Structure 1
Amino acid sequence: MALEIHGMAGHLIRRLNQISVSVFQDRLKAAGFDLTPVQYACLATLDQKPGIDQATLAGLIAYDRATIGTVLDKLDTKGLVTRKVSPRDRRAREMHLTENGRALYRTVTPLVQEIQTLMTGGLEPGERAEFLRLAAKLASTGNAFSRAPLAEPD
């Protein structure tokens, strides 16, 4: 018998996040990569928006500004990103992918795309599109309630 919580949106969203993170990390580890979903989001964003600062990056991936530095420290230690003081604002540090960071991003992206397909594998193509549309709508509608709201890219 299913518990009442098993039909609650919050519980289902949490479960989907658990599954997503587990599949992501297991698949990447099996392929020989040590990368978390948040680290991948940083690489993907810096590939598309090189030179942004930490606060902007945190907003673009909807990640807590207070802890994004720890994620970037790990990427820096791995030799995947560089951070330098911005000539426009001495308090900000501009970030760029290193050649190794760019190469890793390009190498793992096809695997990450396969994982996205796997995550919605129980859905028909039309259902997948509808699920993604509805999930995006819920994320957009709830953005203001987040402790780390998504900042729309320029």
Structure 2
Amino acid sequence: MTPPADCFATEVEPTDRWRSLPIHERPGFLIRRLHQIHVALFAEECAGENITPVQYSVLTALDHLGTADQTALAHAVGLDRTNIADVLARLDKRGLIDRRVATEDRRMKLATLTTTGRETLVRLADGASRAHLRTVETLPAQERNAFVEAMKRLVDANNDVGRAPLLLS
């Protein structure tokens, strides 16, 4: 499934370059497929907790940020405002977070991890780590690091194009 060596040549027009490749060798397809695989591995490793990778990301962000408003959380995990509101509502319903209206701006809702949310993060830590490792473990260690660095560069370079840009530090 390795693309032909010249498929990334700059002399070829980008539309022709990708059109000539089978779909399973195109970057967009591979990224989507790898995401599906990671979600399946996360579900397997974290079975029994009934939590999605996105919910885990939000809980992790709250653990790092402390109390945060929906906009800050959306920027921290790359979700749009509608999706973050839905995720927070689900986490609140399960008692993993508390939400309250901000005293200084009544239009703003703040979220905080509950004790149950923190305990859930502790229980998920090993499973989530195993899912991340299993996603890349077929690569030798040095290639894993290079792969993650390449993904970070791609996200950084294209961050402003996404529907919900991350606030990169």
Matched AA of 1:63: L
The equivalent residue for 1:8 is 26
Is it true that 1:73 corresponds to 2:93 in the alignment? Answer: no
1:28 and 2:46 equivalent? yes
Q: Deviations over 1:93-146 (max 9, x none)?
A: 111000000110111112111111111011000000000000110111111110
Q: 1:63 Cα shift?
A: 0.7
Distance 1:39 1:102 in 2: 13
CA distance in 2, matches of 1:94, 1:72: 10
Paired position in structure 2 for 1:105: 121
Q: Deviations over 1:61-115 (max 9, x none)?
A: 0011112111111101110000111122111111100000011011111211111
Instruction: Specify every segment of 5 or more residues in structure 2 that has no aligned partner in the other structure, as ranges.
Output: 3-20
Secondary structure of 2:80's counterpart equals coil
The aligned length equals 151
Superposed, 1:54-133 pairs within 5 Å as: 54-133=70-149
SS in 1 for 2:32: helix
Q: Distance in 1 between matches of 2:30 and 2:62?
A: 31
Q: Structure 2-normalised TM-score? A: 0.85
1:19 is matched with 37
Determine the C-alpha separation between the residues in 1 that align with 2:158 and 2:34: 17
- List, as ranges, runs of 4+ consecutive aligned residues in structure 1 with deviation greater than 4 Å: none
Q: Distance in 2 between matches of 1:67 and 1:116?
A: 23
Alpha carbon RMSD of aligned pairs, Å? 1.5
Q: TM-score, normalised by structure 1?
A: 0.93
